[in-house]
Amino acid sequence: MSNSETVLIKGARILGGEAADVYVADGVIAELGTTTTKADRVVDADGLVLLPGLVDLHTHLREPGREDAETVLTGSRAAAVGGYTAVLAMANTNPVTDTAEAAERVLDLGREAGLVDVQPVGAVTKGLGGEELAELGLMARSRAKVRVFSDDGKCVHDARVMRRALEYVRAFGGVVSQHSQDPQLAGPTACCHEGELSGRLGLPGWPGVAEEVIVARDVMLARHTGSRVHVAHVSTAGSVEVVRWAKAQGIDVTAEVTPHHLLLTTDLLADYDPTYKVNPPLRPAEDVEALRTALADGTIDAVATDHAPHARHDKEHAFVDAAFGMLGLETALPVVSTVMVEGGLLDWAGVARVMSERPARIAGLDHGDRAHGRPIAVGEPANLTLVDPAAQVVVDRAASVSLSRNNPWHDRKLTGSVVATLLRGKPTVLEGALA
């Protein structure tokens, strides 16, 4: 899908640097610099920052099966409003995305919605059962061209199954995105970070090491198989240490961190508010600090939302009974801007790296990542996100375009907001709202 309307973005700071005009025609960036070309639509971008369209490696869209919590259409709306032009849709739907047909169905629903490229993630094992490999090759060869495989929500805990999956995906340049959580160490009832606070609150917790042992095992399996592993939602300082070590050895490992693990800490659980119940759990400040440092120095490659919408009747329960997960698509850029840019840890080119370029490369998407490393250049597809770096926003969960309301950022003041999003030249968002 491209667009015949021409768009002129006037005076945007490209990746936060020099201001330039960007003229978009036939879905691509046709001119860059100073232009007098007339366009159908002019967007005044004075003081705004232009980024390549954001790419989310980790989104739960809930369709098929839980259309009361989110659909591909409503999730696509949330993604566009959040500045995304591509999202990877996790496989833990009902039915699970474990066949070529299921993957193509998600792809087609995304195309019908037409707001963002929806790229299905394939399950590693049939029905997320953890035992029998799913149709990895058929999914890879399908129209959906699946390259990322994950049992997310569950850990591929059997080392033999993980080994086979890594060997299999290597043949077509695929990657296994692992939800790193040892089921024995975490235990069936655990619902938060194990520590002093969980003891005081009387909540069963699980320790950081339940994540770290799987990350450590998987990087060794990646080394052994010569394959590629991606660590989903890294949440502890120990996991960061393992990834840092593995990268130094030349092991093919990448990692993502969520916006919530970059800012929210476990002490938010003191009021037993299930909005803050998430997997992996919110951790202590030392972990948050280590995650920020690792994202800034490239040990963690990407920010991924783990957007996990839940209907009220699944989330509004006593803490122990509530579903795990929180919304993320609409607030990711403001959180990263507040924590990392205002915090002096990343510049805007760095934000483009962790929210667009690296995620696109990890997923093998021809989207935010170009061989020459210049995603905003003449001739490139006009997947673009325009950001107001100075905007102060107070998040209002009622204003969300998601179907769900489990928003942990409600009432928080954040700096930076998405003003416009273009998908192959077509504005999906203008003036901060769906176009």
Which 3 state secondary structure label does DSSP give 105? helix
Q: Are 118 and 109 in contact (CB under 8 A)?
A: yes
Q: Are 29 and 23 in contact (CB under 8 A)?
A: yes
Q: Name residues whose C-beta falls within 8 Å of residue 180's C-beta, 6 or more positions apart in sequence.
A: 155, 211, 212, 214, 215, 218, 231, 232, 234, 239
CB nearer ligand NCD, residue 60 or residue 217: 60
308 touches ligand NCD (CB under 6 A): yes
Q: Name residues whose C-beta falls within 8 Å of residue 371's C-beta, 6 or more positions apart in sequence.
A: none
φ/ψ (deg, to 5) at 32: -145, 125
Cα–Cα distance for residue pair 166/221, rounded to 1 Å: 8
Residues 153, 208, 350, 416: which binds ligand NCD (CB under 6 A)? 153
Q: Report the chain's C-alpha Rg in angstroms.
A: 20
Vertex 23, ends 18 and 24: CA angle to 5°?
125
Per-residue contact flags (x/-) with ligand NCD for residues 70 to 99, judged by CB under 6 A: ----------------------x-------
306 touches ligand NCD (CB under 6 A): yes
Which 3 state secondary structure label does DSSP give 278? coil
Q: Is 260 annotated as a binding residue?
A: no
**How many CA atoms within 13 Å lie on the side-chain side of 365?**
29
Sheet holding 229-231, edge to edge: 148-149, 175-178, 229-231, 253-257, 302-303
328 touches ligand NCD (CB under 6 A): no
For every residue of 211-223, DSSP letters joined together read: HHHHHHHHHHHHH
The footprint of ligand NCD on this chain (CB under 6 A) covers a number of residues equal to 11
Of 48, 50, 81, the C-alpha closest to 389 is 48
Q: Please give the residue whose beta carbon sits closest to Zn ion in the complex.
A: 179
CB nearer Zn ion, residue 179 or residue 397: 179
Nearest distance in Å: CB 90, ligand NCD: 7
Where are the strands (E) in 95-163, listed by range?
A: 117-120, 148-149
Q: Is 182 annotated as a binding residue?
A: no
Reported as type and span, the H/E element at residue 315 is helix 312-315
Nearest distance in Å: CB 320, ligand NCD: 14
Select which of 21, 117, 306, 369 is catalytic.
Answer: 306
21 is an active site residue: no
278 binds, among Zn ion, ligand NCD, none (CB under 5 to 8 A by kind): ligand NCD
Residues 52, 110, 325, 350: which binds ligand NCD (CB under 6 A)? 325
Per-residue contact flags (x/-) with Zn ion for residues 138 to 177, judged by CB under 5 A: --------------x-------------------------
218 touches Zn ion (CB under 5 A): no
Site for ligand NCD in 179-218 (CB under 6 A): 179
230 touches Zn ion (CB under 5 A): no
Site for ligand NCD in 32-61 (CB under 6 A): 60
179 touches Zn ion (CB under 5 A): yes
Nearest distance in Å: CB 94, ligand NCD: 11
259 touches ligand NCD (CB under 6 A): no
Of 211, 221, 129, 213, the C-alpha closest to 166 is 221
Site for ligand NCD in 167-186 (CB under 6 A): 179
Q: Is 279 annotated as a binding residue?
A: yes
CB nearer Zn ion, residue 179 or residue 353: 179
Instruction: Return the bridge partners of 210, or none.
Output: none
Cα–Cα distance for residue pair 162/176, rounded to 1 Å: 9
| Largest Cα span, the chain | 66
Nearest distance in Å: CB 277, ligand NCD: 7
Which 3 state secondary structure label does DSSP give 234? coil
3-state helix, strand, coil in the chain (%, to 5): 35, 25, 45
Per-residue contact flags (x/-) with Zn ion for residues 249 to 288, judged by CB under 5 A: ----------------------------------------
325 binds, among Zn ion, ligand NCD, none (CB under 5 to 8 A by kind): ligand NCD
Secondary structure tally for the chain: helices H, strands E: 13, 19
CB nearer ligand NCD, residue 149 or residue 324: 324
Of 127, 114, 120, 111, the C-alpha closest to 87 is 120
Cα–Cα distance for residue pair 25/5, rounded to 1 Å: 7
Residues 70, 152, 301, 314: which binds ligand NCD (CB under 6 A)? 152
Q: Which residues are catalytic?
A: 306
Binding site for Zn ion (CB under 5 A): 152, 179, 306
Known binding-site residues for substrate equal: 60-62, 92, 279, 310, 324-325
Interface residue list for ligand NCD (CB under 6 A) = 60, 92, 152-153, 179, 278-279, 306, 308, 324-325
Residues placed in the known binding site: 58, 60-62, 92, 152, 179, 233, 279, 306, 310, 324-325
Which residues sit in the known binding site for Zn(2+)?
58, 60, 152, 179, 233, 306
